Chains A and B, each alone.
Chain A
């Protein structure tokens, strides 16, 4: 069975700094998708970034980028120039052959003014 592990329950960084959130996963599949979702206090889950496992190039969306290491089964999220609005829970998630999304337990990120 696939698993997703986020080892940092909570992090705090100063505004404008760069922060990296860690995620590891376990699967025997070769083709799959990985995601980072953001859940602000308003509760609405928002997709931040997506990575297809067959693509070697790391995905980037504006200030958000990932470091995808397929062999190590690692998928970290880097937030550059962090902003107060980045304060939220961040979930790493996996989707394999069965098209079902498996979420990690999340990292609570605080951006400090």
Chain B
């Protein structure tokens, strides 16, 4: 059984650019949730994907978008990057939408300059 993996580990982008972050869910899991963790803060929920459909969204603008693929891996896309988008982006996978057994990946550290 493989755990949750994320790529890349680190990323540096310039303000205004676009970025795609990737997440592979744990074997047997069909739900992926994405979180933004700013430095010194707790993670904030961005959105969740269940069986390739968005299943809930936090307080993030539309330039944050996502996808889930038939193998339940997922992408987080951020357009028009802003300096405040600099953060650790975590994904978590679970089985079903009742996500009290979420398993987190190691995160992608995004720096926007």
List the B side residues contacting A50 at CB < 8 Å.
100
Cα distance, A1 to B101, chains bound together (Å): 23
The answer to whether A46 touches B42, judged by C-beta atoms less than 8 angstroms apart, is no
> Are B42 and A100 in contact, CB atoms less than 8 angstroms apart?
no
Say whether A101 contacts B99, CB under 8 Å. Answer: yes
Q: Which residues does chain B contribute within 8 Å of A101, judged by CB atoms?
A: 33, 43, 45, 99, 102
Residues in A whose Cβ lies below 8 Å from that of B92: 45
Give the dominant DSSP class at B's interface.
loop
B42 contact from A33, A42, A47, A105, Cβ within 8 A: A105
How many residues in B have their beta carbons less than 8 Å from beta carbons of A?
Answer: 25
A43 at the A/B interface (Cβ < 8 Å)? yes
CA distance A50 to B88 in the complex (A): 24
Chain A contacts to B: CB under 8 angstroms: 4, 33, 35, 42-47, 50, 91, 93, 95, 98-106
Residues in chain B near residue A44, CB distance under 8 A: 104-107
Residues of B within 8 A of A (CB): 33, 35, 40-45, 48, 56, 58, 88, 90, 92, 97-107
User: In the complex the two chains form, is A102's CB within 8 Å of B41's CB?
Assistant: no
Asked if A91 and B42 make an inter-chain contact with CB atoms under 8 angstroms apart, the answer reads yes
Q: Give the interface centre of B43, B48, B97, B103 by most chain A CB atoms within 10 Å.
A: B43
Q: How far is the CA of A91 from the CA of B48 in the complex (A)?
A: 20
Structural contact, B44 and A103, CB atoms closer than 8 A? yes
Of B43, B48, B107, the residue contacting A103 (CB under 8 A) is B43
Chain B residue, CB-CB nearest to A89: B42
Pick 26 A–B contacts, CB within 8 A, sort by A. A4-B42, A43-B107, A44-B105, A44-B107, A45-B90, A45-B104, A46-B104, A47-B102, A47-B103, A91-B43, A98-B56, A99-B99, A100-B48, A100-B56, A100-B58, A101-B33, A101-B43, A101-B102, A102-B45, A103-B43, A103-B44, A104-B42, A105-B41, A105-B42, A106-B40, A106-B42
